[in-house]
């Protein structure tokens, strides 16, 4: 079978590597791919958001499956466009991808169907938003309504910080059209947990829990990023909590999307906070998370190609998906300055010395003379598995020390904090 994977980050490297394990898959393309993906797939110079280009390539090369992984092409309707040409595609259609593409849609859905989440209000006028902030005080959370590369959320500890975030989004155009509307949310406390699930429109099968680290610096300081590392499983996600989430969040969300005429098929990401009043939804994503995917897929024992086809065919309930009883830790190596300004083109050395981890490439490129250089903010995801989480963390950081590029930046506390 031939598979085309859309995207070029660490998540796509993990997806390609996992698909390559399937005995049924003998050819993988990746558009656009990156320097590491090129070792296992043929990289195609098509942007992930180029729907016409992807459709044209698919009509010519006839992949048996197209896996659309990033948020932007899903929100733009790439799956719809592929299906319209009779091309088999994995991922939600546009009308279901809105669960990530519009935070106000997601909040209204949860409110309508009594799915636990933070209190909220939606604004398009900055004066009205600021009045709401002054009435409710801080800490408070400001979110751009649309897609903002994982950087559209401000957890404001003061009213001044919240007001500045509103001005940046609505008046300053910091996130373009994605920030023309903002969702202002109640500040919640508790451990955060990410749970990804395969969903076929009606049935769902959850993956092992994970936890992301969004802030750029140690101790959860600095600006939000796309994610500086992840580990799996969560230290806090017990069997009892998992059952509560299944009954009050996971199944109700899938049923709500179906009831709204927007059946969700693909990977649905539940960003949760385990509050003193029980688990609540912080956000939904309409696809594999990054870097959670790098940690979670390392633990998959079943055939990902088979799972994706079962999702498309609405037969997920017939699958018995197996996961390893182990732990994984992914440490992101980023360019200095990320998530703000950073330089590209820095040569990466030492990856051949890595012995106990998988190095997933995210922002890398291959030069004409075969060198691997940096080409993005998040550069590599060094991911180790072990019998225990503490051992996986140790192994990942030991291998991080072997890899070098100018101005490399990491967090030193991935998986270490206990709260």
Residue 148 pLDDT class (50, 70, 90 cuts): confident
- CA 407 to CA 280: how far, in whole Å? 38
Residue ranges per structural domain of the chain: 2-91, 119-186, 192-318, 327-400
Residue 25 pLDDT class (50, 70, 90 cuts): very high
**Residue 9 and residue 362 in contact, taking contact as beta carbons nearer than 8 Å:** yes
Determine what percent of the chain is predicted with pLDDT higher than 90. 94
- CA 110 to CA 35: how far, in whole Å? 40
pLDDT of 419 strictly over 60: no
Residue 418 pLDDT class (50, 70, 90 cuts): low
Q: Give the pairing type, strands 327-334 and 229-232.
A: antiparallel
pLDDT of 380 strictly over 60: yes
Residue 41 pLDDT class (50, 70, 90 cuts): very high
pLDDT given for residue 350 in this prediction: 98
Average of pLDDT values for 298-316? 98
pLDDT of 291 strictly over 80: yes
Determine whether domain 327-400 maps to CATH 3.90.600.10: yes
pLDDT given for residue 174 in this prediction: 87
pLDDT given for residue 258 in this prediction: 98
Per-residue HEC secondary structure of the chain comes to: CEEEEEECCHHHHHHHHHHHCCCCCCEEEEEECCCCHHHCCEECCCCCCCHHHHHHHHHHHCCCEEEECCHHHHHHCHHHHHHHCCCCEECCCHHHHHHHHCHHHHHHHHHHCCCCECCEEEECCHHHHHHHHHHHCCCEEEEECCCCCCCCEEEECCHHHHHHHHHHHHHCCCCHHHHCCEEEEECCCCCEEEEEEEEECCCEEECCCEEECCEEEHHHEEEECCCCEEEECCCCCCHHHHHHHHHHHHHHHHHHHHHCCCCCEEEEEEEEEEECCEEEEEEEECCCCCCHHHHHHCCECCCHHHHHHHHHCCCHHHCCCCECCCEEEEEEEECCCCCCCCCCCCECECHHHCCCCEEEECCEEECCCCCEEECCCEEEEEEEEECCHHHHHHHHHHHHCCCECCCCECCCCCCCCCC
Average model confidence (pLDDT) across the chain: 96
pLDDT of 346 strictly over 90: yes
Q: Which two tokens stand for residue 34?
A: 């990156």
pLDDT of 349 strictly over 80: yes
Place of tokens 């395969």: 198
pLDDT given for residue 151 in this prediction: 76
Q: Give the pairing type, strands 120-123 and 89-90.
A: unpaired
Residues 6 or more apart from 289 whose CB is under 8 A from it? 11, 194, 196, 210, 212, 227, 230, 269
Average of pLDDT values for 154-174? 94
pLDDT given for residue 78 in this prediction: 98
Average of pLDDT values for 340-363? 96
Q: Which two tokens stand for residue 130?
A: 């600021």
- CA 162 to CA 167: how far, in whole Å? 9
Residue 89 pLDDT class (50, 70, 90 cuts): very high
CATH of 192-318, one of 3.90.650.10, 3.50.50.60, 3.40.640.10, 3.30.470.20: 3.30.470.20
Architecture of domain 119-186: 2-Layer Sandwich (3.30)
- Residue range 2-91 forms a domain whose CATH class is alpha beta
Average of pLDDT values for 88-116? 97
Per-residue HEC secondary structure of 146-159 comes to: CCCCCCCEEEECCH
Query: Comparing 232 with 418, which gets the higher pLDDT?
Result: 232
């Amino acid at each position: 079978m031939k598979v085309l994977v859309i995207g070029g980050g660490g998540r796509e490297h993990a997806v390609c590597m996992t698909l390559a394990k399937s005995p049924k898959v003998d050819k993988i393309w990746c558009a656009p791919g990156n320097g590491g993906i090129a070792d296992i797939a043929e990289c195609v110079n098509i942007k992930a958001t180029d729907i016409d280009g992807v459709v044209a390539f698919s009509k010519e090369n006839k992949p048996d499956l197209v896996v659309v992984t990033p948020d932007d092409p899903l929100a733009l309707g790439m799956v719809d466009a592929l299906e319209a040409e009779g091309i088999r595609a994995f991922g939600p259609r546009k009308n279901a991808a809105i669960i990530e593409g519009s935070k106000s849609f997601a909040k209204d859905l949860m409110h309508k169907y009594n799915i636990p989440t933070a209190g909220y209000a939606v604004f398009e006028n900055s004066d009205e938003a600021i009045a709401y902030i002054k009435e409710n005080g801080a800490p408070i959370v400001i979110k751009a309504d649309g897609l903002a590369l994982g950087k559209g959320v401000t957890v404001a500890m003061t009213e001044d910080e919240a007001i500045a975030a509103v001005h940046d989004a609505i008046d300053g155009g910091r996130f373009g059209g994605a920030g023309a509307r903002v969702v202002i949310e109640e500040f919640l406390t508790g451990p955060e947990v990410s749970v990804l699930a395969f969903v076929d429109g009606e049935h769902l099968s959850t993956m092992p829990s994970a936890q992301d680290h969004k802030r750029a610096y140690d101790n959860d300081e600095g600006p939000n990023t796309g994610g500086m590392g992840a580990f799996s499983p969560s230290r806090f996600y017990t069997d009892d909590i998992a059952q509560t989430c299944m009954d009050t969040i996971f199944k109700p969300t899938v049923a709500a999307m179906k009831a709204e005429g927007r059946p969700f098929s693909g990977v649905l990401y539940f960003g949760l906070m385990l509050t003193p009043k029980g688990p609540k939804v912080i956000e939904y994503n309409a696809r594999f998370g990054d870097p959670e995917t790098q940690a979670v897929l390392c633990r998959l024992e079943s055939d990902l190609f088979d799972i994706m086809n079962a999702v498309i065919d609405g037969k997920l309930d017939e699958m018995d998906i197996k996961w390893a009883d182990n732990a994984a830790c992914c440490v992101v190596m980023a360019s200095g300055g990320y998530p703000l300004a950073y330089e590209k083109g820095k040569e990466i050395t030492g990856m051949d010395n890595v012995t106990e981890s998988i190095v997933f490439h995210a922002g890398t490129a291959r030069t004409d003379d075969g060198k691997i250089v940096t080409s993005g903010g998040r550069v590599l995801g060094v991911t180790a598995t072990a019998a225990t989480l503490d051992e996986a963390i140790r192994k990942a950081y030991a291998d991080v020390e072997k890899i070098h590029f100018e101005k490399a930046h990491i967090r030193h506390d991935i998986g270490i904090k206990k709260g």
